[in-house]
Amino acid sequence: MDFLYQYILQITWQQVVMWAIGGLLIFLAIKKEMEPTLLLPMGFATIIVNFPHSGVLTHGDEAGMLDILFDAGIANELFPLLLFIGIGAMIDFSPILSNPKLMLFGAAAQFGIFFTFCLASIFFPLNDAASIGIIGAADGPTAIVVAQKLNSQFTGPIMVAAYSYMALVPIIQPPIIKLLTTKKERMIRMPYKGAEVSKITKILFPIIISMVTVAIAPSSASLIFSLMFGNLIRECGVLDNLSETAQKVLANLVTIFLGISIATQMKAEQFLHPATLLILGLGLFAFIFDTAGGVLFAKFLNLFSKEKINPMIGAAGISAFPMSGRVVHKMGLAEDPQNFLLMHSIGVNVSGQIASVIAGGMILNFFR
């Protein structure tokens, strides 16, 4: 009968800690409804991979289900790029087309990427430091693609940090925003004055942005193509069924596959390691400075603007779409129930999506 207990007796305290982390992710997904499509599969798979000789992982010649998924969809960057098609199909660029200055906030909120890179370069080689810095893009697909193309030895922790912090935006951003703004600033109203955007403009925008981005940062071609192709499907007007499928079925299915595949990198021996914990800390640092950069940039513009900007919208310049835009909108409503910042915050959030892809391409150009 000893063979019935041999694997149970091999369980380590580190694996028990990972069960607790997996349980926390499940709790956040169900109780707090924080990105359940991502956190629920990630949390559940984290628990299962942290058993001795778990059959979902590869052992010797016996292939494991999750390792097969990882090799098929993440190691070759397929899942992140497919997800970008779904995200592109969700995005409406009308707010930034009618108010292009919102693009400035998307650029300002990428500050944390380069600041974190400088800090990470003290502890890691340049290619790893650049890959860690891109966590600040708040964009899981971009983080995965950059880390893979730069051959970072920390691709696993980087993708775990990127997706975990994306889901934790509703917890991370509000305290930073409140710290950097006054109640009076958070109550600034910004009436939406968006002009009507023509259909031809919406169709040309993803095409032109893709051409310009690839000309400036050729390494970002796969990322910008996937994002803008998804948006072109949405705006062309002749592929409504395909657009709906990309937004719902494709995006949700790929997110589930991503969640359970990423868990292969959350094994106790890999995750509970000083380098991994340092990367998680640097990733949080990047998110904080991205948020701060966007808010402080908005406050700077207010020094010269007659029509004041609610500085909270600057925080939505990170690429966590649409979580960050919704967080800012909810914070505005909490201060003033008649203050509707959604169109402004989503416009900035969308610009951050584009800016993060460009930032990822620039990093690849510099370090590849």
pLDDT by residue for the chain (368 residues), tens digit each? 555 677 787 889 999 999 999 999 999 889 988 888 888 999 999 999 999 988 899 888 888 999 999 999 888 889 989 999 999 999 888 888 888 888 888 888 888 888 889 899 999 998 999 989 888 877 788 888 888 888 888 887 888 888 777 778 888 899 999 999 999 999 988 877 666 788 999 999 999 999 998 888 888 888 899 999 999 999 998 999 999 999 999 999 999 999 899 889 889 988 888 888 899 899 898 889 889 999 999 999 988 888 888 999 999 888 877 788 888 989 989 988 888 888 888 888 888 888 888 888 888 888 77
Pairwise CA distance, residues 25 & 27, whole Å: 5
User: Do the domain assignments include residue 336?
Assistant: yes
Q: What is the pTM of this model?
A: 0.86
- Domain-located, residue 61: no
In-domain check, residue 254 = yes
Please name which of 82, 335, 359 lies closest in space to residue 185, comparing C-alpha atoms.
Answer: 335
- Residues of the domain holding 262: 2-52+67-367
* Within-domain flag for 59: no
- How many domains is the chain partitioned into structurally? 1
What residues have CB less than 8 Å from 176, skipping those under 6 apart?
Answer: 288, 291, 292, 295, 315
